Amino acid sequence: MKTLLVAEFREGKLRAEYSQLVAFAQQQRTEAAMFLVGSAGELPKFNGTLYLADAAKHGEYNPTVHKQLLLEVIEKEQPTQIVFLHSSYGWDLAPRVAVALQAAQVSEIIAVENGLPVVPVCNAKLRRSIKSTTGRTVLTIQAGAFSLEGEPEGTPTVVAIDTAATGKVQCTGYEAAKIEGVDLTKADIIVSAGRGVGKPENVAMVQALAKALGGEYGASRPVVDAGWVEHNRQVGTTGSTVTPKLYVACGISGAIQHLAGMKKSDFIVAINTDKDAPIGEVASVLVVADLKQFLPVLTEKLNAR
Protein backbone atom coordinates (compact mmCIF):
# COMPACT_ATOMS: atom_id res chain seq x y z
CA MET A 1 0.00 0.00 0.00
CA LYS A 2 1.25 3.48 -0.89
CA THR A 3 0.07 6.72 0.73
CA LEU A 4 0.22 10.31 -0.49
CA LEU A 5 0.23 12.82 2.37
CA VAL A 6 -1.07 16.34 1.68
CA ALA A 7 0.74 18.93 3.80
CA GLU A 8 -0.42 22.54 4.19
CA PHE A 9 1.17 25.97 3.88
CA ARG A 10 -0.39 29.05 5.46
CA GLU A 11 0.75 32.65 5.77
CA GLY A 12 4.18 31.81 4.38
CA LYS A 13 4.76 28.92 6.79
CA LEU A 14 4.60 25.15 6.60
CA ARG A 15 1.93 24.02 9.06
CA ALA A 16 3.52 21.89 11.77
CA GLU A 17 0.53 19.52 11.68
CA TYR A 18 2.19 17.74 8.74
CA SER A 19 3.86 15.59 11.41
CA GLN A 20 0.43 14.09 12.19
CA LEU A 21 0.20 12.90 8.59
CA VAL A 22 3.62 11.26 8.93
CA ALA A 23 2.50 9.62 12.20
CA PHE A 24 -0.58 8.23 10.45
CA ALA A 25 1.55 6.69 7.70
CA GLN A 26 3.99 5.28 10.24
CA GLN A 27 1.18 3.67 12.22
CA GLN A 28 0.01 1.95 9.06
CA ARG A 29 3.59 1.06 8.10
CA THR A 30 2.91 2.21 4.58
CA GLU A 31 5.25 3.69 1.98
CA ALA A 32 4.56 7.42 1.82
CA ALA A 33 5.20 10.41 -0.40
CA MET A 34 4.17 13.99 0.38
CA PHE A 35 2.54 16.81 -1.59
CA LEU A 36 2.92 20.49 -0.73
CA VAL A 37 2.14 23.80 -2.38
CA GLY A 38 4.62 25.85 -0.41
CA SER A 39 8.16 27.16 -0.43
CA ALA A 40 11.63 25.63 -0.80
CA GLY A 41 12.58 27.56 2.33
CA GLU A 42 9.94 25.78 4.43
CA LEU A 43 10.40 22.05 3.90
CA PRO A 44 9.00 19.28 6.12
CA LYS A 45 11.35 16.94 7.96
CA PHE A 46 10.42 13.77 6.18
CA ASN A 47 12.25 10.79 4.68
CA GLY A 48 10.60 10.34 1.32
CA THR A 49 9.67 12.06 -1.91
CA LEU A 50 8.20 15.55 -1.58
CA TYR A 51 6.29 16.90 -4.57
CA LEU A 52 6.65 20.66 -4.19
CA ALA A 53 4.76 23.37 -6.08
CA ASP A 54 5.47 27.08 -5.63
CA ALA A 55 2.85 28.82 -3.49
CA ALA A 56 4.08 32.20 -4.75
CA LYS A 57 2.87 31.17 -8.22
CA HIS A 58 -0.10 28.94 -7.46
CA GLY A 59 -1.37 30.56 -4.26
CA GLU A 60 -1.56 29.13 -0.75
CA TYR A 61 -5.01 27.95 -1.75
CA ASN A 62 -6.59 27.76 -5.17
CA PRO A 63 -8.93 24.74 -5.37
CA THR A 64 -8.81 24.26 -9.15
CA VAL A 65 -5.03 24.59 -9.37
CA HIS A 66 -4.20 22.57 -6.25
CA LYS A 67 -6.56 19.81 -7.35
CA GLN A 68 -4.88 19.61 -10.76
CA LEU A 69 -1.41 19.52 -9.19
CA LEU A 70 -2.54 16.73 -6.88
CA LEU A 71 -4.13 14.71 -9.67
CA GLU A 72 -0.90 14.84 -11.67
CA VAL A 73 1.08 13.59 -8.65
CA ILE A 74 -1.50 10.86 -8.01
CA GLU A 75 -1.17 9.73 -11.64
CA LYS A 76 2.58 9.42 -11.17
CA GLU A 77 2.65 7.87 -7.68
CA GLN A 78 -0.46 5.68 -7.96
CA PRO A 79 -1.18 5.82 -4.20
CA THR A 80 -3.82 3.67 -2.55
CA GLN A 81 -4.61 6.47 -0.08
CA ILE A 82 -4.58 10.25 -0.35
CA VAL A 83 -4.52 11.71 3.17
CA PHE A 84 -5.44 15.25 4.22
CA LEU A 85 -5.69 16.92 7.58
CA HIS A 86 -9.29 17.45 8.75
CA SER A 87 -8.88 21.21 8.33
CA SER A 88 -10.49 23.93 6.21
CA TYR A 89 -8.00 23.06 3.44
CA GLY A 90 -8.79 19.36 3.69
CA TRP A 91 -12.55 19.89 4.02
CA ASP A 92 -12.59 21.78 0.73
CA LEU A 93 -9.99 19.96 -1.37
CA ALA A 94 -10.47 16.33 -0.33
CA PRO A 95 -14.00 15.92 -1.78
CA ARG A 96 -12.93 17.63 -5.01
CA VAL A 97 -10.13 15.08 -5.41
CA ALA A 98 -12.41 12.19 -4.42
CA VAL A 99 -14.98 13.15 -7.06
CA ALA A 100 -12.30 13.53 -9.73
CA LEU A 101 -10.92 10.07 -8.89
CA GLN A 102 -14.37 8.51 -8.37
CA ALA A 103 -12.95 7.34 -5.06
CA ALA A 104 -14.52 6.83 -1.65
CA GLN A 105 -13.88 9.49 0.97
CA VAL A 106 -13.61 8.81 4.70
CA SER A 107 -13.57 11.92 6.89
CA GLU A 108 -12.45 12.66 10.44
CA ILE A 109 -10.40 9.51 11.11
CA ILE A 110 -9.39 9.17 14.76
CA ALA A 111 -7.62 5.78 14.71
CA VAL A 112 -6.64 2.78 12.63
CA GLU A 113 -7.66 -0.70 13.80
CA ASN A 114 -6.90 -3.92 11.94
CA GLY A 115 -5.80 -1.83 8.99
CA LEU A 116 -9.13 0.02 8.72
CA PRO A 117 -9.82 3.70 9.44
CA VAL A 118 -11.96 4.42 12.50
CA VAL A 119 -14.36 7.36 12.72
CA PRO A 120 -16.60 8.65 15.54
CA VAL A 121 -20.38 8.23 15.37
CA CYS A 122 -23.34 9.16 17.58
CA ASN A 123 -21.74 12.43 18.66
CA ALA A 124 -18.44 10.62 19.36
CA LYS A 125 -20.08 8.24 21.83
CA LEU A 126 -19.34 5.29 19.52
CA ARG A 127 -16.74 4.42 16.89
CA ARG A 128 -16.91 2.41 13.71
CA SER A 129 -14.38 0.98 11.25
CA ILE A 130 -14.92 1.68 7.57
CA LYS A 131 -13.79 -0.42 4.61
CA SER A 132 -13.62 1.32 1.23
CA THR A 133 -14.98 -0.46 -1.82
CA THR A 134 -12.97 1.64 -4.30
CA GLY A 135 -9.39 1.04 -5.38
CA ARG A 136 -8.32 4.39 -3.97
CA THR A 137 -9.55 6.18 -0.87
CA VAL A 138 -9.38 9.85 0.10
CA LEU A 139 -9.02 10.34 3.85
CA THR A 140 -9.00 13.22 6.33
CA ILE A 141 -7.50 12.70 9.81
CA GLN A 142 -8.79 14.44 12.91
CA ALA A 143 -6.42 16.96 14.49
CA GLY A 144 -4.53 15.47 17.41
CA ALA A 145 -5.52 11.87 16.69
CA PHE A 146 -2.05 10.83 15.49
CA SER A 147 1.30 12.04 16.81
CA LEU A 148 4.96 11.14 16.51
CA GLU A 149 6.81 9.92 19.59
CA GLY A 150 9.49 12.57 19.06
CA GLU A 151 10.18 15.50 16.79
CA PRO A 152 9.83 14.90 13.03
CA GLU A 153 13.11 14.15 11.30
CA GLY A 154 14.50 13.41 7.87
CA THR A 155 15.35 15.17 4.61
CA PRO A 156 12.93 14.79 1.71
CA THR A 157 13.84 14.20 -1.91
CA VAL A 158 12.24 17.24 -3.54
CA VAL A 159 10.56 16.93 -6.93
CA ALA A 160 9.39 20.26 -8.32
CA ILE A 161 5.94 20.23 -9.91
CA ASP A 162 4.05 22.82 -11.94
CA THR A 163 0.84 23.22 -13.91
CA ALA A 164 -0.64 25.62 -16.43
CA ALA A 165 -4.07 25.28 -14.79
CA THR A 166 -5.77 28.42 -13.55
CA GLY A 167 -8.77 28.97 -11.32
CA LYS A 168 -11.41 31.57 -10.53
CA VAL A 169 -10.80 31.48 -6.77
CA GLN A 170 -8.02 33.47 -5.13
CA CYS A 171 -6.89 33.40 -1.52
CA THR A 172 -6.40 37.07 -0.67
CA GLY A 173 -5.57 36.67 3.01
CA TYR A 174 -6.69 35.38 6.39
CA GLU A 175 -8.94 36.95 8.97
CA ALA A 176 -8.83 35.80 12.56
CA ALA A 177 -12.18 34.99 14.13
CA LYS A 178 -13.46 37.73 16.41
CA ILE A 179 -13.13 36.82 20.07
CA GLU A 180 -16.17 38.05 21.92
CA GLY A 181 -16.30 37.89 25.68
CA VAL A 182 -13.81 35.60 27.41
CA ASP A 183 -10.60 34.45 25.70
CA LEU A 184 -9.90 30.99 27.11
CA THR A 185 -6.54 30.82 25.35
CA LYS A 186 -5.21 33.31 27.92
CA ALA A 187 -6.62 31.60 31.03
CA ASP A 188 -4.25 29.88 33.46
CA ILE A 189 -7.05 27.81 35.02
CA ILE A 190 -10.03 26.36 33.15
CA VAL A 191 -12.85 24.21 34.50
CA SER A 192 -14.93 22.66 31.71
CA ALA A 193 -18.37 21.10 31.64
CA GLY A 194 -19.20 18.04 29.56
CA ARG A 195 -22.35 16.06 28.89
CA GLY A 196 -21.87 14.41 32.27
CA VAL A 197 -23.19 17.51 34.06
CA GLY A 198 -26.60 16.17 33.08
CA LYS A 199 -28.66 19.34 32.64
CA PRO A 200 -28.08 23.06 32.05
CA GLU A 201 -28.76 23.99 35.68
CA ASN A 202 -25.71 21.94 36.74
CA VAL A 203 -23.33 24.11 34.72
CA ALA A 204 -23.54 26.49 37.69
CA MET A 205 -21.50 23.99 39.74
CA VAL A 206 -18.72 24.15 37.15
CA GLN A 207 -18.87 27.94 37.15
CA ALA A 208 -18.66 27.99 40.96
CA LEU A 209 -15.58 25.74 40.97
CA ALA A 210 -13.88 27.88 38.32
CA LYS A 211 -14.54 30.98 40.43
CA ALA A 212 -13.20 29.30 43.57
CA LEU A 213 -10.00 28.39 41.71
CA GLY A 214 -9.66 31.89 40.26
CA GLY A 215 -10.12 30.66 36.70
CA GLU A 216 -12.58 30.57 33.81
CA TYR A 217 -15.17 27.97 32.88
CA GLY A 218 -15.37 26.23 29.52
CA ALA A 219 -17.34 23.44 27.90
CA SER A 220 -17.20 20.59 25.43
CA ARG A 221 -18.96 20.81 22.07
CA PRO A 222 -22.11 18.83 23.05
CA VAL A 223 -22.74 21.24 25.92
CA VAL A 224 -22.34 24.24 23.61
CA ASP A 225 -24.46 22.63 20.87
CA ALA A 226 -27.20 22.07 23.44
CA GLY A 227 -27.19 25.81 24.20
CA TRP A 228 -26.14 25.38 27.83
CA VAL A 229 -22.94 27.43 27.41
CA GLU A 230 -22.04 30.12 24.86
CA HIS A 231 -19.76 29.17 21.95
CA ASN A 232 -16.84 31.38 22.99
CA ARG A 233 -16.28 28.99 25.91
CA GLN A 234 -16.01 25.84 23.76
CA VAL A 235 -12.77 23.88 24.03
CA GLY A 236 -11.69 21.60 21.20
CA THR A 237 -10.86 21.54 17.52
CA THR A 238 -14.01 23.50 16.64
CA GLY A 239 -13.56 25.86 19.59
CA SER A 240 -10.45 27.09 21.39
CA THR A 241 -7.19 25.21 21.75
CA VAL A 242 -6.01 25.93 25.29
CA THR A 243 -2.85 25.31 27.32
CA PRO A 244 -3.63 26.41 30.89
CA LYS A 245 -1.57 25.52 33.95
CA LEU A 246 -4.61 23.63 35.31
CA TYR A 247 -7.47 22.09 33.33
CA VAL A 248 -10.37 20.46 35.16
CA ALA A 249 -12.64 18.32 32.99
CA CYS A 250 -16.05 17.72 34.58
CA GLY A 251 -18.14 14.95 33.06
CA ILE A 252 -16.14 14.96 29.82
CA SER A 253 -15.57 11.51 28.34
CA GLY A 254 -12.69 12.58 26.13
CA ALA A 255 -13.65 12.62 22.45
CA ILE A 256 -10.56 13.21 20.31
CA GLN A 257 -11.90 16.59 19.18
CA HIS A 258 -11.91 17.79 22.78
CA LEU A 259 -8.60 16.17 23.73
CA ALA A 260 -6.87 17.87 20.81
CA GLY A 261 -7.93 21.22 22.25
CA MET A 262 -6.66 20.75 25.82
CA LYS A 263 -4.23 17.83 26.15
CA LYS A 264 -1.19 20.13 26.25
CA SER A 265 -2.37 21.66 29.54
CA ASP A 266 0.28 21.50 32.27
CA PHE A 267 -1.90 19.59 34.75
CA ILE A 268 -5.20 17.89 33.99
CA VAL A 269 -7.79 16.77 36.52
CA ALA A 270 -10.66 14.69 35.16
CA ILE A 271 -13.84 14.02 37.15
CA ASN A 272 -15.92 11.19 35.71
CA THR A 273 -18.02 8.27 36.90
CA ASP A 274 -16.38 6.04 34.26
CA LYS A 275 -12.87 4.95 35.28
CA ASP A 276 -12.23 3.82 31.68
CA ALA A 277 -13.22 7.12 30.04
CA PRO A 278 -10.70 8.17 27.35
CA ILE A 279 -10.04 11.42 29.23
CA GLY A 280 -8.17 9.30 31.79
CA GLU A 281 -5.43 8.62 29.24
CA VAL A 282 -4.30 12.27 29.30
CA ALA A 283 -5.33 13.18 32.87
CA SER A 284 -2.72 13.77 35.55
CA VAL A 285 -5.38 12.84 38.11
CA LEU A 286 -8.62 10.95 37.45
CA VAL A 287 -11.32 11.35 40.10
CA VAL A 288 -13.91 8.58 39.78
CA ALA A 289 -16.95 10.24 41.32
CA ASP A 290 -20.37 11.73 40.66
CA LEU A 291 -19.53 15.36 39.87
CA LYS A 292 -22.90 16.50 41.25
CA GLN A 293 -21.73 15.29 44.66
CA PHE A 294 -18.01 15.99 44.30
CA LEU A 295 -17.99 19.54 42.87
CA PRO A 296 -20.02 21.25 45.62
CA VAL A 297 -17.82 19.69 48.32
CA LEU A 298 -14.58 20.63 46.53
CA THR A 299 -15.83 24.16 45.91
CA GLU A 300 -16.84 24.57 49.56
CA LYS A 301 -13.40 23.42 50.74
CA LEU A 302 -11.66 25.84 48.38
CA ASN A 303 -13.83 28.76 49.45
CA ALA A 304 -13.12 27.97 53.11
CA ARG A 305 -9.36 28.35 52.72
pLDDT at 127: 84
Helix (H, G, I), strand (E, B) or coil at 15: coil
Residue 123 pLDDT class (50, 70, 90 cuts): low
Domain with CATH 3.40.50.1220 in the chain: 184-303
Return all residues near 225 (Cβ < 8 A) that are at least 6 apart: none
pLDDT in tens, 169-222: 888 888 876 766 788 989 999 999 999 999 999 999 999 999 999 999 999 999
Q: Where are the beta strands (DSSP E) in the chain?
A: 2-6, 9-10, 13-14, 31-38, 49-54, 81-85, 104-109, 111-113, 116-121, 126-129, 137-141, 157-160, 189-193, 216-219, 246-250, 267-272, 285-288
Backbone angles phi, psi at 211, to 5 degrees: -65, -40
Domain with CATH 3.40.50.620 in the chain: 2-160
User: Rounded to whole angstroms, how far apart are CA atoms 171 and 242?
Assistant: 28
pLDDT in tens, 41-62: 999 999 999 999 999 999 999 9
Q: Please report, for residues 27, 106, 150, 278, the alpha-carbon distance to residue 114 in angstroms, rounded to integers and kept in the order given.
A: 11, 16, 24, 20
- Answer whether residue 156 shows pLDDT above 90: yes
**Among 3.40.50.620, 1.10.150.120, 3.40.50.300, 3.30.360.10, what is the CATH number of 2-160?**
3.40.50.620
First to last CA, the chain: 61
pLDDT in tens, 264-279: 899 999 999 999 888 9
Topology, domain 184-303: Rossmann fold (3.40.50)
Cα 267 to its chain centre, rounded Å, is 21
Helix (H, G, I), strand (E, B) or coil at 73: helix
